[in-house]
Structure 1
Amino acid sequence: MSLPNRNNPYSFDEYLAWRDQVNYYTDDHFLQKVLKHYSGKHWEEADKEARKISDKVSYRWRDLSERISKPEKRPFLTHFDAYHNRIDRIVRPHEVEEMEREVYGEKLFSDDQSDWVRLIKMMLIYENGESCIACPVTCTEGLVELLNKFADSPETKRILKHCKEGIDGELGIGAQYISEKQGGSDIPANKVEAVKENGQWKLYGSKFFCSATHADYVVVTAKPRGEEKVALFVMPSWLPGDKEKEKRNGFRIDRLKDKMGTRELTTCEITLEGAIAYPVGPMERGLANVVEIVLTYSRLTVGLSSAAYMTRAVREAVKYSEFREAFGISVSHFPLVRAQTKKLEHFTKRTTAGAFKLYSEFLDIKEKSKNGKALSIDDKKRKFRIRELIMLQKITGTQDCTNVIREAMSFLGGHGVMEDFSALPRLFRDSVINELWEGPRNVLLTQIFNDLKRAQDWYPAQEFINDLIEDSPEDIKRHFSVNMEKFMSVPTLVSPDESIVEVAADWDKFCEDLFHQYQDLALNEVNS
């Protein structure tokens, strides 16, 4: 019975007490199960390190993330100091700088960290959303992997050391400036020019989407003067001794972008005016290296962060439905909510299991590719599959994440869209950004189609499908194989022909279903 009471005693304290005490790792038995299954001999070390970092991520870093997400804490840009010196200072709240020092203090990219320790730490960190941490960590990983392979000068070796082990107690932070206003994901359309002047390479031109603009070092694409092929460079944001003076290395920050998500992270437009940079890898393979190394790691991490966002959002939404009562019963008992809960939990678990399975396959083929060893034809095919899976995960995981969080917000009713009530609106906005970063859906779907078309002579559609979803029932493999062969009979997805529009829509759905099948097989592995 509900009687009038002007002093409404209702309280959210029970739910908040649970939320404040939950530990991202030790209370997540499914995540532990997935890690144990795929990390193999690295399980004990990874589990131990996950428990240690989870005490920081789940409480202190979670609280810092919530505080820096407030509108009044948004970063801003100061172009000049009091003496009219151009400084382009990115002003960020001290909470960001505190958390950044602590996260980078983990030395995620040190040789002392195993791949599985790094992965589980990053997964847990990403449960707090972007927080001006996720993107820089991802970009630093790509920079480190690039320099692990190609650092061959005193400057690039010092940058690598700074990012992996630190110098004078500080760890270097990485970023990547690839996109330009005329090209977006079309990297070959880049117009930034690299010119060799007095023995040094200098960069001229503009970049249009530059995230993590506070970073120490940046992976930059540019075309050497007179050349059509894109080369790859590492550019310090400040030359040695200049950071303290706030004297940037030959570039200016024109303005900050006003994004709907990842607002704690600055994304800027910059103009390069002779910035000193160091070439990385063969000049003619800049495009290949940025895609095969830098974007590969970024896309892998976007898949992992999708799993992390979903995990936190669904956990908090489901618990709220158990706490909240409406019409005399717990909201969690409503049949529609129960059905939604099963669906959301399934999507979260399949995404997590798929991300860990793909990472294990990626590490295995990476190990086999070391030292320039020639791969067997079977390993070449596996490497090709992993390349396609990384793109499939990127488009499928991010879209699923946005849909899952949007639905999870409904469990909280009107509170679900209140920015100060829970982290769900912020995670939702960050997820939408992830759908676009590192190649939007239509670009990657076209790339996957083109890759598979080119591979038909040595890796036919039916064989590709059978290898990709090997443990599926025969009727499911047959279904995907038949449809794949039909798609491969289409000359191109880039055509003004109206009939291709329908084919393109079917291809989109086919790729999503195919990767869901891969994820479900991974989930079955974990649960078997």
Structure 2
Amino acid sequence: MNLVSNDSEIRGENVYSFDEFCSKRESLDWYRDDLFLQKSAEHFIGLDYGKINERILTFSPTVSLKWNQLAERMARPEVRPFMLHYDAFNHRIDRIVRPMEAHQLEKEIFGEGLFSNKMAPWESFVKRLLIHQLGEAGVACPLTCTHGLIGIIEQFPNENIPELEEILKHTKEGLNGEFAIGAQFMTEIQGGSDLPANLLEAVPDGGNYRLYGNKFFCSVAHADYSVVTAKISGSNKVSTFIVPSWLPGDKMKEKRNGYEINRIKWKLGTAELPTGEINYKGALAYPVGPKDKGIAVAAGIVLTLSRLEIGIACAAFMLRASREANLYSDFRTVFGKKVKDYPLAACKLKYIENAAQRTTAGAFKIYDTFLRLERPLNPGLDSDLPMEVRKQLFIFRELVLLQKISTTNEGVKVLNEAMSIFAGHGVMEEFSSLPRIFRDVVVNEQWEGPRNLLLTQIYRDIQRVTEWLSPSEFVGGVLHGAAIETIHEFSLQLENLLQKPVLGIVNEASMEAATEWDTFCSALFKAYQELALNEIEAKANIK
């Protein structure tokens, strides 16, 4: 006798499915379906928006589906990069082994020619913002470092070193359809962000140099070329160099240019990105930029571009977090109601969306300033520049620093809040990208100067320029277009803080002042973001 009439009546059968949620998520186009991102692009791009918008609409589906799938596959722990130091014949090769998906993703993204003269800067910006929504994915940092390497060679062309022009072409326009990858190796074990403590030695060799010593944090260890800081023999000041990973004809032979990779770091986040420790044993290096001004060159050009890109990445991370949290909250039902219909969840979703839009608006506005300035990347502020130009460049420099510390700090909070919308599924690595991106933003908070270091730098920078840029002028420049009352309030706070022992000896008064400074910087940049957001919304409302 058959006691069960059909399969659906089997006791204890779980028929719940996430298919609807997964299907909607996979069908989303990260640009076409994001009206705010389109409004932001239209507002800041201006007259060229129409043609650039069409190209981005064509580009976006590839990022949203194909590249996202590759990024998720290569994030699995069993395929993370590892070192193969020797081949079968005992030759030292230091091969960095990465999964096929990493090579495919890298080739396709770099093949877009994002820094080519053929691509408009705004088109590149929006495309990179979409790419950053993948998380690090082994390509975000390489893109950023390549941009910095291009920037430094363009800023300091040297016809006496033709190899630099070849490197520029290889990274910017590609050679025979292949685009090279750049890196920046500056940190040493004894110094961290303290570049003056560099001990790597550059020994003259004709018109070039040979490097000897160690670098301790070398992200994009698989790069074709790197920007490296070192001290020329007999000098106590840092210079900058471009170092090829392989000399001509040696890449296929896996014969590196006079250096070894000791190991790959085990990091909290950006795990798909090979970060190594490098031991230089006479690597050929090409000097770039003024000798003995390597710190100014690195900070003014390479690190400025990296910090600028981190702000763009944080905007992308938050946009993705907001999109996926909203999608899930509209799908998931708990105790008879959708997650989004609970006030506690609704207020979190509102905060996440606002933070994402503020951060995106701020990233667009700073990049707009970057494009409008004639020479935004400078190894220090030239005293021969017109005073108004010096002021504009200084304000831009500080905005980049404020964006870096503010967006990474808030990014951690936003990703954490977004994961909480998913409840237990929020920490499941295969359920969504959010845990992976959460770890990436934590790492980004430490890269290119951790929060305390940059807060100190901003304070010292403003102190140094008070003779030609008053606190009220600085605040007025940052918040240009804001209400007079807002500018006045922030100006008074800044004037007051510059009189306090923010950088004094450690005691109760200095710690209280330091806390006030931290809070002030976050509030000032949030006001800047809100100003940018209001600009976009006002323009959209007029239409």
Choose the corresponding residue for 2:359, options 345, 351, 371: 351
Which segment is superposed worse, 488-497 or 247-256? 488-497
Report whether the alignment pairs 1:338 with 2:355. no
Aligned to 1:110: 116
SS across alignment from 1:123 = helix
Aligned to 1:519: 529
Report whether the alignment pairs 1:209 with 2:217. yes
Contact 2:325/2:349 (CA < 8 Å) preserved in 1?
Answer: no
SS across alignment from 1:101 = helix
Report whether the alignment pairs 1:167 with 2:156. no
Q: Distance in 2 between matches of 1:369 and 1:512?
A: 24
Choose the corresponding residue for 1:150, options 153, 156, 170: 156
Aligned to 2:412: 402
- Compute the displacement of 1:198 (Å): 4.6
Aligned to 1:382: 392
Report whether the alignment pairs 1:428 with 2:438. yes
Report whether the alignment pairs 1:299 with 2:307. yes
Q: Distance in 2 between matches of 1:283 and 1:218?
A: 17
Q: Distance in 1 between matches of 2:415 and 2:506?
A: 36
Provide TM-score, normalisation by structure 1.
0.97
Aligned residue pair count: 525
Aligned to 1:14: 20
Report whether the alignment pairs 1:69 with 2:75. yes
Q: Give the partner amino acid of 1:115.
A: P
Aligned to 1:185: 193
Contact 1:45/1:117 (CA < 8 Å) preserved in 2?
Answer: no
SS across alignment from 1:203 = strand
Could you give the per-residue CA deviations for residues 127-184 of structure 1, whole angstroms, max 9, x where no partner exists?
A: 0000110000000000011111213121100000000111122111000000000111
Q: Give the partner amino acid of 1:432.
A: V
Q: Give the partner amino acid of 1:299.
A: R
Contact 1:206/1:270 (CA < 8 Å) preserved in 2?
Answer: yes
Could you give the per-residue CA deviations for residues 107-144 of structure 1, whole angstroms, max 9, x where no partner exists?
A: 11111111101101100000000011000000000001
Contact 2:329/2:340 (CA < 8 Å) preserved in 1?
Answer: yes
- Compute the displacement of 1:284 (Å): 2.1
Choose the corresponding residue for 1:126, options 100, 122, 132: 132
Alignment of 1:302-317 (within 5 A): 302-317=310-325
- Compute the displacement of 1:369 (Å): 8.5
Could you give the per-residue CA deviations for residues 215-235 of structure 1, whole angstroms, max 9, x where no partner exists?
A: 000000000011011000000
Q: Distance in 1 between matches of 2:27 and 2:303?
A: 36
Choose the corresponding residue for 1:509, options 519, 525, 531: 519
Q: Give the partner amino acid of 1:183.
A: G
Aligned to 2:5: none
Contact 1:164/1:171 (CA < 8 Å) preserved in 2?
Answer: yes
- Compute the displacement of 1:495 (Å): 2.6
- Compute the displacement of 1:497 (Å): 4.2
Contact 1:322/1:330 (CA < 8 Å) preserved in 2?
Answer: yes
Q: Give the partner amino acid of 2:200.
A: V
Could you list the runs of 5+ residues in structure 2 that have no partner in the other structure?
Answer: 1-8, 539-543
Choose the corresponding residue for 1:135, options 128, 136, 141: 141
Aligned to 2:506: 496
Contact 2:259/2:283 (CA < 8 Å) preserved in 1?
Answer: yes
- Compute the displacement of 1:491 (Å): 5.8
Which segment is superposed worse, 50-59 or 170-179? 50-59
Contact 1:368/1:375 (CA < 8 Å) preserved in 2?
Answer: no
- Compute the displacement of 1:488 (Å): 1.4
Q: Distance in 2 between matches of 1:99 and 1:500?
A: 49
1:313 and 1:295, CA in 2 relative to 1: closer, same or farther beyond 3 A? same
Q: Distance in 2 between matches of 1:5 and 1:521?
A: 58
Q: Distance in 2 between matches of 1:499 and 1:374?
A: 39
What's the C-alpha RMSD, in Å, of the aligned pairs?
Answer: 1.6
Q: Distance in 2 between matches of 1:139 and 1:355?
A: 18
Could you give the per-residue CA deviations for residues 299-329 of structure 1, whole angstroms, max 9, x where no partner exists?
A: 0000000000111111101110110001111
Aligned to 1:459: 469
Q: Distance in 2 between matches of 1:98 and 1:331?
A: 38
Aligned to 1:289: 297
- Compute the displacement of 1:39 (Å): 1.3
SS across alignment from 2:252 = coil
Which segment is superposed worse, 182-191 or 498-507? 498-507
SS across alignment from 2:223 = coil
Could you give the per-residue CA deviations for residues 356-387 of structure 1, whole angstroms, max 9, x where no partner exists?
A: 001001111136899x9975322321111110
Aligned to 1:228: 236
Report whether the alignment pairs 1:86 with 2:99. no
Q: Give the partner amino acid of 2:70.
A: L
Q: Distance in 1 between matches of 2:67 and 2:309?
A: 19
Choose the corresponding residue for 2:36, options 27, 30, 44: 30
Could you list the runs of 5+ residues in structure 1 that have no partner in the other structure?
Answer: none
Q: Give the partner amino acid of 1:401.
A: G
- Compute the displacement of 1:341 (Å): 1.1
- Compute the displacement of 1:339 (Å): 0.9
Which segment is superposed worse, 373-382 or 345-354? 373-382
Q: Distance in 2 between matches of 1:79 and 1:113?
A: 39
Aligned to 1:418: 428
Q: Distance in 1 between matches of 2:207 and 2:347?
A: 66
- Compute the displacement of 1:200 (Å): 3.3
Contact 2:325/2:418 (CA < 8 Å) preserved in 1?
Answer: yes
Q: Distance in 2 between matches of 1:229 and 1:288?
A: 11
Could you give the per-residue CA deviations for residues 8-36 of structure 1, whole angstroms, max 9, x where no partner exists?
A: 21110110010010001111110010011
Which segment is superposed worse, 124-133 or 461-470? 461-470
1:334 and 1:446, CA in 2 relative to 1: closer, same or farther beyond 3 A? same
Q: Distance in 2 between matches of 1:494 and 1:257?
A: 35
- Compute the displacement of 1:470 (Å): 2.6
